[in-house]
Amino acid sequence: MIDYEQLSATQAQQLLPQLCDVLQACVADGGSIGFIDATDRDVIARFWQDRIDSLARGNCDLLVARQQGVVVATVMVNNSGMPNGRHRAEISKLLVLPLARRQGIARQLMQQAELRAQAQGKTLLVLDTRSGDVASELYRSLGWQVAGSIPFYAESTEGVFEATTVMFKVLQ
């Protein structure tokens, strides 16, 4: 059984080691998620601490999936900080532990993130993903559209510069 929930900053702080485990496993699996070295736990922990601080300020939402009480997946809805962007949010850190994949968890988290953004009055969502990544197929199947591609955008865990695809979804 998989449980889905939105975490408060306090809950996220209590689950910091599990959040780090998910991110670390995804980086070790070659995920293009902003990190290169899966062994640098300090950098990963600082990232999550910054996100928890942002969560406490109300700048974002963090949704997780748990199996048997353990966090196996995450997704974030990041609100635009500018007055002219109050209608939009960015989706980031859709992460699923490699051992928990192929169960529909990412799809369910994305659908919940979209509903959360819509409930907050957001009418536009944006994200970027490594070009050609399997995640692109998921996003397209959920109605996301490609805005364009940027070459040499991010360095992979293997040291190769890869393109990113920028996507968007207009919410009804």
The CATH number of residue 84's host domain is 3.40.630.30
Task: Give the H/E segment covering residue 76.
Answer: strand 70-79
For residue 32, the model assigns a pLDDT of 84
Q: Is residue 17 over pLDDT 90? A: yes
Please give the pLDDT value at position 30.
86
Tens digits of per-residue pLDDT, 59-86?
999 999 999 999 999 999 999 989 999 9
Per-residue pLDDT band for 166 (boundaries 50, 70, 90) equals very high
Single pTM value for the model = 0.94
Dist. CA 146–CA 50, nearest whole Å: 29
Q: Which domain holds residue 75?
A: 2-170
Predicted confidence at residue 158, as pLDDT, reads 87
Long-range CB contacts (within 8 A, 24+) of 157-164: 157/27, 157/30, 157/31, 157/36, 157/37, 157/38, 158/30, 159/36, 162/32, 162/130, 162/131, 163/130, 163/131, 163/132, 164/32, 164/128, 164/129, 164/130, 164/131
**Over residues 104-133, mean pLDDT:** 96
- Per the structure, how many domains does the chain have? 1
Scanning the structure block, which residue is given the tokens 């399997």? 134
Please check the confidence at residue 46 and state whether its pLDDT lies above 90.
yes
Residues 6+ apart with CB under 8 A from 108: 2, 4, 65
Packing angle, helices 134-141 and 105-119, rounded to 10: 50
Q: What mean pLDDT comes out for the span 121-144?
A: 95
Answer whether residue 148 shows pLDDT above 90: yes
Query: pLDDT tens, 155-164?
Result: 988 889 999 9
